Structure 1
Amino acid sequence: MGDRSPARSRLLGTASRLFYTEGLHSVGIDRIVAEAQVTRATLYRHFPSKDHLVVAYLREVDKAVRAKVTEVAAREESSADVVRAVGESIAADIRAPGFRGCAFLNAAAEYPDPAHPVHRTVLVHREWFLRTITDLMTHAGATAPDPAARHFVMLRDGAMAAGSLADPEPICRTLLRGVEGLLTYQDARVV
């Protein structure tokens, strides 16, 4: 069976929902199989282990984030506007019902071993995101694009963590003010 099989899609959709809402370690294979209405053999035909399923889930989240950034970049005229729009997109996610933080930060917390495939999948996404923001900051004219991009990622991480714990509105306002500050602050000494 190929990657487009309905059973694989149900498995991945079910696992993704459960992993995001309840955590990676707390959701067992038996529950995923039962809710996806497939057999264990079907699960293991598509995903040789739970770790493979977790990696597939994170890759789907990664694809969705990349698609969002691509969509935003296609709409905006300047790199600075793309950076602002990425910030707005993050704020919209934080405000969404059922928001439970960043799937990648959640996964890194549950899989802290840097050699583990799940942790490596998290790092691949984060490296791409940092490179993307660095490129955008460079094109936006930031005199120190590398530190500005790292600050953006930290703002995002903090907002996503805080947004899952408290009223998202003040957190989103702070995030967006911070993003604007990064676009206007041109001091190369920022590290």
Structure 2
Amino acid sequence: MSTTTGRRVSEARERLLRTASALFYAEGIRAVGVDRVVEEAGVTRATFYRHFPGKDDLVVAYLGVVHDAVRDAAGEEAGAARLRRTVGAMTETLCSPGFRGCSFINAAAEFADPDSPVHRAVAAHRGWLSALFATDLAAAGHPDPDGAAAHLMMLRDGAMVAGYLADPEVARATLLRGLDAILDEAG
């Protein structure tokens, strides 16, 4: 198998990443050690270290996979349609079986040090998502796209937490109503 750049993708690396992603999301990053990931992925420690110099590198790769999924769901064309598609995909996720919150919010809670590579990956994703929201809101004609994007990020964060800790359908409906209200301000 190969990537879009033509480089060969290691099956062992992909297995490590899939295994770690499932475990990190279900149980928490700090709760899962490298030994467990190695064992459940069916590889050796040497194979692990050949692909990931340390656990933080594996965590950053895991967050990269999640980021890529959000980016791919968003698509390219800016505006209200992309914003609705992106937020709609988020609401579907928070109502899915096994939903345990936002991978980025969860990682931020476990890696509070702003100099941590994991914390930096979280900040980069959140910066990207906020910029996406602002770009889409500007394209939709919102008079304050940056302020509205900050508002939408807070609504999204709240929905992600409520989708796990409370009623996911209420969280979904609340986020969608909030998005409608923000887009109504665009005229």
User: 1:140 and 2:140 equivalent?
Assistant: yes
Contact conserved, 2:21 with 2:62, CA < 8 A, in 1?
Answer: yes
Deviations, residues 102-144 of structure 1 (Å, cap 9, x unaligned) = 0000000000000110000001111111111100000000001
Q: What pairs with 1:1-191 in structure 2 (closer than 5 Å)?
A: 4-70=9-75, 73=76, 79-185=79-185
**Match of 1:115, SS?**
coil
- How far apart, in 1, do the equivalents of 2:22 and 2:83 lie? 28
Task: Give the CA deviation at 1:81.
Answer: 2.2
Once the two structures are overlaid, the 10-residue window that deviates more, 178-187 or 26-35, is: 178-187
Distance change in 2, residues 1:147/1:166 (3 Å): same
Q: Give me the whole-angstrom Cα distance separating, in 1, the residues matched to 2:181 and 2:41.
A: 45
Aligned AA (2:137): M
Q: Find the aligned partners of 2:83 and 2:146 in 1 and give their Cα distance.
A: 14
AA in 2 matched with 1:93: T
Structure 1: gaps spanning 5 or more residues: none
CA distance in 1, matches of 2:87, 2:63: 21
| Identity %, equivalent residues | 52
RMSD after superposition? 1.5
Query: CA contact under 8 A between 2:74 and 2:83: conserved in structure 1?
Result: no
State the SS of the aligned residue for 2:165. coil
C-alpha distance in 2, partners of 1:28/1:185?
A: 47
Q: Is the 8 A contact 2:29 2:59 kept in 1?
A: yes
- CA gap 1:138/1:181 in 2 versus in 1, 3 angstroms: same
